[in-house]
Structure 1
Amino acid sequence: MEPEIETHITRFLAMLDTAFRRGGEEGLPERFRRAVREAPRHRFVHRFQADRAGPVEDFDAARHLAAVYSDRVLTHVGPDDAALDSTNSQPSYVLWLLHRLGLEPGHRVIEIGSGSGWLAAVMGRLIGDGRVVGVEILGALARRSRDDLAALGIANVAVVEGDGAAGHAAGAPYDRAMVTAAVWDLPAALFDQVAEGGRLLLPIALAGGAGRDCHVAVLRREGDRFRMLEAVPGRFVRFTGPGQEGGAERRRLEELPFWPRIGGPAVLHRPLSLGLRDPARFGGAAYAFRLFLGQTEPGFTVFDDGAGEDPAVSPFGLVDAAARSVALCRPGMLLSYGSPEAVRRLDAAYRRWTALGMPGPAAFELEVVRAEQAPRPGRGLWVENRGASALVWRLAGATSPPRVGRRAAVPDRPPPADPGARIRPPGP
């Protein structure tokens, strides 16, 4: 390896080691260190943007090694200079997720959304005599990654062009599976293609069109379902294809079919903070309550008020079409339009949430099942139908939730809630 490249890779490995320690590990495992060195990232970077708003670059080792061997996302760009819906993800984050997946020599692995092929190459080095199949829907990326893998002599990784929703039956069953896009509805093929006891890393898109924000879960196949082992927050591009549109869009009030009958000044306007006094900051109690509404209330909606802000910090609330009613939470205020039914439901949901201890996402156990096998919702159990699959949320460690008493409606200043997950990832 040329001395200049060796210098950048040595610095890169030191940076990854620091990130792993910050994430609670003892450092970058030695086997990961070897795999990263044997699958140099710059060999999988061609036409790219180092920043979404930055210039389009054609890789030149003399100018771009420092950018490639940094802890940043690189966006793939097509020949027309348009950004592709695929990235070479933040190295410390995806490698840390890969560490949670627990790859071992001899494993059969599938990566859905293999993009440039860099992560598939790292996995190929980690599993020794095992086999990795990458599935990539963008034909140009799939062909280029095959060429890059061949140039490095990595023969135990195959990249196929196709719709990741179908998986790749020819290589099944898989001991490990990784989806590198935020999924709304779990592709049915994975119920059949992941081996019993196998693990699936799945970014789950949040309800209400929260941009690229998702719940990144490590799941284990147990019979006819996947059970969550652990999860962290994350950001991934959306998975595309039939059935994946759910929850992707914010809604404008003017687009509600009954809005002409109820539009106008709000009929109710009362103070509400929930950690939302700063429109640019979305966290704390508001984050946890928003997730709870998405898990438990079919009418949960994220609104587009035309300001163009990130969906993750947009107004949210409930829509009750039958009652022609809307409850909308904005920074510092709660608004109601039409009948009071949506606000009543929002208040009831808040009382349930506070009675449960204001749980954040870490407080819930999760199973992903086929829709027809979803249980009925019950005490301490909520079912979120996603199409062919369903998310089954249970409050961890509780056989039944606390009794809901006569509490006040959503207050101005609720106590703080912990929006964190069970494990803490490296990086920001």
Structure 2
Amino acid sequence: MASGALGTDWLNAYRAVPRALFVPDRIWPGTPDGTRQTALVDRRTDPIDWLTAVYEDRPLTTQWDDGEHEGDGLGTRPSSSNSQPRMVFGMLGDLDVEEGHRVLEIGTGTGWNAALLAHRAGAKNVVSIEYDPAVAAGARQNLAEFGAEEPLVVVGDGREGFADRAPYDRVIATCSVGEVPSAWIEQTATGGVIVAPWGPLYGGEAIVRLVVGEDGHARGRFTRSSAFMRLRQQRADLPAHETYMRGQAWPADGVRSATLIPPSDVGGWVEQFAIGLHVHDAWWSVERYDDGSYTLWTYGLDGESWASIDWEPGESEFVVYQSGPRRLWDETEAAYRWWNGRSRPGFERFGLTVGPRSTVAWLDSESCPVPGAEWVR
């Protein structure tokens, strides 16, 4: 693989476990950055396009809207997929799994990753948990048709792990989380490794590689950017825009100010991640207009706090309105300035320590916690 993610260590597994055997007839290939989906490709009508998509380095959405989506178009929210090969093998490299390791996978999907793990560790050592019964059934069928010894596929809540086979030497999640479940750490042997996509509600996400210590804490660095579907039980219930306006026209009771930081400066993936470490329980959306201008909206989970910042072509100062108990743009700007003032660190400079009572993010070393980046369980 051109990216280098598929080195000689996993080449035999890649050849032995063909991706095509674990991809359904109907797929929506993703863009290379994994943030959007393209039009349906159906093997029954476009077999060449289907096979091309399968062996490109792209994620493949296989289910929308928890299975409720019908038709050939894009759904509202992707809810299951066959992950991008570069990401699959990058995470497997982070996991450092060896023959005989006991492995727990959270999120079976199509079963391809479980089959790769079984090829390396031995099928009897691999347990994969899938919340969606229909997805689990499809994975079991794919694994059975593959013909090798099958790992155990369990239908259940991935947050709870699978205590019957614990302790595990390795735990890997194929869905993103904002909180690493305690069960994953409790069911991992001391010195064991947990690899998972992690990101704050605000945005941005990266793969974290945690090692479980004798003190019951799991700690480690982020290794690479990622963009996975959220663990279903950790999806946020976001209030509608109208909730914040309370029947008033914008700017309602918003307080006007101005900023020299354009909203585009806070929109990058790592920028969102860094901001989200500081700005908790908040998210953003963009409202675009025909003349090329747009409004960046930020909302708090409290259903009261909001901020808007208008971007117009050619302007160097931007109008801000804020309302509610929190001044969300002020928080965002302060977080951005913190990140910018530390030489714009990438994901690899950040780390995470997850304990029984809290999760703390840090920069460069555990002794340098990110200000305010603590989440109490």
- Normalised by the shorter chain, which TM-score bucket? 0.7 to 0.9
Aligned partner letter, 1:174? Y
Q: CA, structure 1 residues 112+330, in 2 after alignment: closer, same or farther (shift >3 Å)?
A: farther
Deviation at 1:117, TM superposition (A): 0.6
CA distance in 1: counterparts of 2:301 and 2:319, whole angstroms: 16
Deviation at 1:207, TM superposition (A): 2.1
1:255 has 2:234 as partner: no
Deviation at 1:66, TM superposition (A): 2.7
CA distance in 2: counterparts of 1:141 and 1:126, whole angstroms: 23
Match of 1:336 in 2: 321
Maintained 8 Å contact 1:105/1:130:
no
Deviation at 1:272, TM superposition (A): 2.7
Aligned pair partner of 2:60 in 41, 53, 74: 74
Maintained 8 Å contact 1:105/1:129:
no
TM-score (norm 1): 0.67
Gap regions ≥5 residues in structure 1: 1-15, 375-390, 402-428
Maintained 8 Å contact 1:132/1:158:
yes
Deviation at 1:72, TM superposition (A): 2.0
Match of 2:315 in 1: none
- Per-residue CA deviation, residues 361-401 of structure 1 (Å, 9 max, x unaligned), is 4443311223xx23xxxxxxxxxxxxxxxx30223259679
Match of 1:422 in 2: none
CA distance in 2: counterparts of 1:272 and 1:251, whole angstroms: 28
Match of 1:54 in 2: 39
Maintained 8 Å contact 1:131/1:156:
no
Aligned partner letter, 2:322? Y
Identity of aligned residues (%): 27
Maintained 8 Å contact 1:45/1:59:
no
Aligned pair partner of 2:278 in 277, 292, 296: 296
- The secondary structure found in structure 2 opposite 1:276 is helix
Aligned pair count reads 343
Deviation at 1:205, TM superposition (A): 3.0
Q: CA, structure 1 residues 81+316, in 2 after alignment: closer, same or farther (shift >3 Å)?
A: closer
Match of 1:426 in 2: none
Match of 1:220 in 2: 211
CA distance in 2: counterparts of 1:217 and 1:325, whole angstroms: 31
CA distance in 1: counterparts of 2:333 and 2:139, whole angstroms: 52
Deviation at 1:334, TM superposition (A): 4.8
| Range with greater deviation from structure 2 (83-92 or 256-265) | 256-265
TM-score (norm 2): 0.76
Matches within 5 A, 1:159-308: 159-208=153-202, 210=203, 213-222=204-213, 223-241=215-233, 244-246=234-236, 249=238, 252=241, 254-256=242-244, 263-264=251-252, 267-274=255-262, 276=264, 282-283=267-268, 290-298=272-280, 301-304=282-285, 306-307=287-288
CA distance in 1: counterparts of 2:58 and 2:158, whole angstroms: 25
Q: CA, structure 1 residues 137+337, in 2 after alignment: closer, same or farther (shift >3 Å)?
A: closer
Deviation at 1:97, TM superposition (A): 1.5
The structure whose RCO (Cα within 8 Å, separation 6+) is larger is 1
Q: CA, structure 1 residues 355+399, in 2 after alignment: closer, same or farther (shift >3 Å)?
A: farther
Q: CA, structure 1 residues 360+272, in 2 after alignment: closer, same or farther (shift >3 Å)?
A: farther
Maintained 8 Å contact 1:315/1:329:
yes
Deviation at 1:302, TM superposition (A): 2.5
Deviation at 1:41, TM superposition (A): 1.4
CA distance in 2: counterparts of 1:320 and 1:169, whole angstroms: 33
Match of 1:94 in 2: 88
Aligned partner letter, 1:19? S
Q: CA, structure 1 residues 132+336, in 2 after alignment: closer, same or farther (shift >3 Å)?
A: same
- The secondary structure found in structure 1 opposite 2:172 is strand
- The secondary structure found in structure 1 opposite 2:128 is strand
CA distance in 1: counterparts of 2:110 and 2:142, whole angstroms: 9
RMSD, aligned α-carbons: 3.8
Deviation at 1:262, TM superposition (A): 9.1
Deviation at 1:225, TM superposition (A): 1.6
Gap regions ≥5 residues in structure 2: 30-36, 313-317, 370-377
